[in-house]
Amino acid sequence: MYIHICRLLKILLCILQDGESWKENNCTKGTCSAGKVITEHVPCEPVTIPICENQQPPVRVYDEAGCCFHYECKCVCSGWGDPHYVTFDGEYYSFQKNCTYVLVKEIQPKYNFRVIIDNENCDPSGTVTCAKALIVYYKNYKIILTQKRNPKTVNLVYVDDKQVFPTYSNKDFIVTSTAIELLLKIPEIEAVVMFKGLLFSIDLPFSRFHGNTEGQCGTCDNNRKNDCRLPNGDIDPSCSDMANHWRVPDKNKPYCEVPPSPTPIPTRTPTPEPCKPNICEILISKVFEKCHSVVPPTHFYEACKFDVCHMPNSTVGCSSLEAYAMMCAEAFVCVPWRSATHGQCDYKCPANKVYKPCGPTVVPTCNARYNEKYTQQCQAENANQDTGCLVTEGCFCPEGLTLFSSNSDICVSSCCTGPDGQPKKYGETWQSGCQQCSCDEATLSVQCKPVTCATQEPVTCTEEGEVLVTRTVDCCEKQICVFKFYCLQPGMEFSKSPCEICHCTDTQDPNSKLNEITCVIGDCFEECSEGYVYEEQPGQCCGTCKKISCVMEFPDSPPIIIESWSPPDDKCVMYECQKGSCGASSSM
């Protein structure tokens, strides 16, 4: 709005300020010329479209201002099946070894980025291998993308040897999953690593990694001639031979440290029956026709025939079809191909999800902020292509249902969330604190209101020492009777009577919600000598011994109670016991 108003003012004043120019936005400027506003785009260099040796269409890359662009070739390295590889620049080769190798690393460290592939035997014969895991090192992170294949295939992700669950993200990367594939994105360096078990790919921006990669994926520089680069920088004439030189030590594979045995002398074998890899013909059929002009299928077709003709089960060819479909999707051509295999390459999704050949790479959830953040990020990553976000095959929630959250596998019809973080159904009610909540179908959201409190009957305190107080019980104010000395806080001490010491406990009374009281009666010595009786003293904890008889005490003999008494040696003296208000006393 501000720009439009300013532009209008410039137009109105144009006659008075002929020749003045101003910046309308990052890419255009306006100039007053003879009473008219002339709009000019910032000058851009002439654009040439390169011919990419990997036969993939070049991508449009804009400058920082977003005004001018140039074209770059994509650097995508992929592998599939009994591993077949296509390097960044499109060199195709096969390599069947079950050790651990460098797929890609920087020649001159710049981003601290490298990818290791952990291969394993796919069948008991030991002649067929496939990728067990991709290990991505970035900055100080170690990210493992792998699968558990028995009894069913489950994607697994580990970050610094601790299992995490997609969608997982931090300030440096994000990992998503569609049940079929795992996708690691590193926005800062625009790197994307995909793993689907028998299929994987590494996508790097040409502008950041041009001429600075080596490993089994070769050098990203749009030149196939140097793709078979050895660790010492020399170029091997065969990429299949080069690949073995990128082996890295693996303590879990001691057999890889043993020098390979000499190649056995081939013996004459019977001529095999002709191989008919019918499943591979789908690659060059009308099923993929829309993609043929964008991504040539030749390498994938040859790899498919090799796998099918060397394995007893033709379904191994599915990985070649899957790899080609993935490359087509990367070029924004989605091909629903699995149905054409008549069940050979079907993918069985969990019971609560359905298979889609062209689903979103960012799966919408009940979390609107999550959707906005990652959808915008996805659109920004692909803004240069004017095609929005990429699509991918996977297992998704059925129509009308939404994925509850990025780290759950629950599809819900409503996006209500209870206090425990779990989904709630329409019409379901629950109490959260002092709020009564429900999943409201009209507003498609959680609606809460204060708990309704019942009217209380009048309360009268009948016990001696009780007082009426108002307390909040179960979110409602109630009048209750409590002893006048009630607990204010645990540990507090007070006296209910001179001889009774009480203290507050940590235990709460379920009715009054007040802390319970425990009291102890003080011990008093109530035994009195002969001629005395114990009497309580008002206001005192303990009583006293009151004299009620005259007691005569003699040395070396017990005291005696008397009414009258004369000493044996003086009969003229008589002692009599007199009782008064203060007790008994003797007089002559």
Higher pLDDT, 498 or 159: 159
Higher pLDDT, 72 or 500: 72
Distance, CA of 518 to CA of 494 (rounded, Å): 10
Q: Which residue has the tokens 């009473």?
A: 35
Tens digits of residue pLDDT in 276-307: 788 888 998 999 999 898 888 888 888 888 88
Q: Which residue has the tokens 């059925």?
A: 398
- Beta bridge partners, 61, equal 70
pLDDT at 2: 42
- Beta bridge partners, 268, equal none
Distance, CA of 155 to CA of 196 (rounded, Å): 8
For 154, which DSSP code? E
Distance, CA of 410 to CA of 418 (rounded, Å): 14
Q: What band does 389 get if pLDDT is binned at 50, 70 and 90?
A: low
> How many C-beta neighbours within 10 Å does residue 158 have?
15
pLDDT at 3: 44
Q: What band does 193 get if pLDDT is binned at 50, 70 and 90?
A: very high
Both structure tokens of 396: 């998704």
> How many C-beta neighbours within 10 Å does residue 222 have?
21
Tell me the mean pLDDT in the region 306-320.
78
Is the separation of the CB atoms in 328 and 295 below 8 Å? yes
Higher pLDDT, 317 or 441: 317
User: At residue 326, does pLDDT exceed 50?
Assistant: yes
Name the fold adopted by 416-450: Complement Module; domain 1 (2.10.70)
pLDDT at 119: 87
> Rounded to two decimals, what is the model's pTM?
0.60
- Beta bridge partners, 403, equal 365, 411
Residue range 72-257, CATH number: 3.40.1000
Rg (CA), the chain: 45
Percent of the chain exceeding pLDDT 90 equals: 13
Tens digits of residue pLDDT in 107-159: 999 999 999 999 887 765 556 677 889 999 999 999 999 988 766 778 889 99
Which residues belong to CATH 3.40.1000 in the chain? 72-257
Is the separation of the CB atoms in 583 and 548 below 8 Å? yes
Least confident interval from 439-443, 526-530, 536-540: 439-443
The gap from C-alpha 330 to its chain's centroid, in whole angstroms, comes to 27
Tell me the mean pLDDT in the region 383-409.
71
75: nearest Cα among 197, 227, 195, 187: 227
Taking all residues of the chain, what is their mean pLDDT, rounded to a whole number?
78
pLDDT at 204: 92
**Alpha-helical segments (H) within 103-218:** 206-209
pLDDT at 306: 82
Tell me the mean pLDDT in the region 25-31.
74
pLDDT at 144: 93
Both structure tokens of 424: 């709630």
Distance, CA of 78 to CA of 99 (rounded, Å): 18
pLDDT at 388: 46
Q: What band does 361 get if pLDDT is binned at 50, 70 and 90?
A: confident
Q: What band does 475 get if pLDDT is binned at 50, 70 and 90?
A: confident
Which residues belong to CATH 2.10.70 in the chain? 416-450
pLDDT at 573: 74
Higher pLDDT, 279 or 578: 279
Name the residue type at position 328: C
Tell me the mean pLDDT in the region 181-195.
89
User: At residue 51, does pLDDT exceed 80?
Assistant: yes
Q: What band does 80 get if pLDDT is binned at 50, 70 and 90?
A: confident
pLDDT at 449: 81
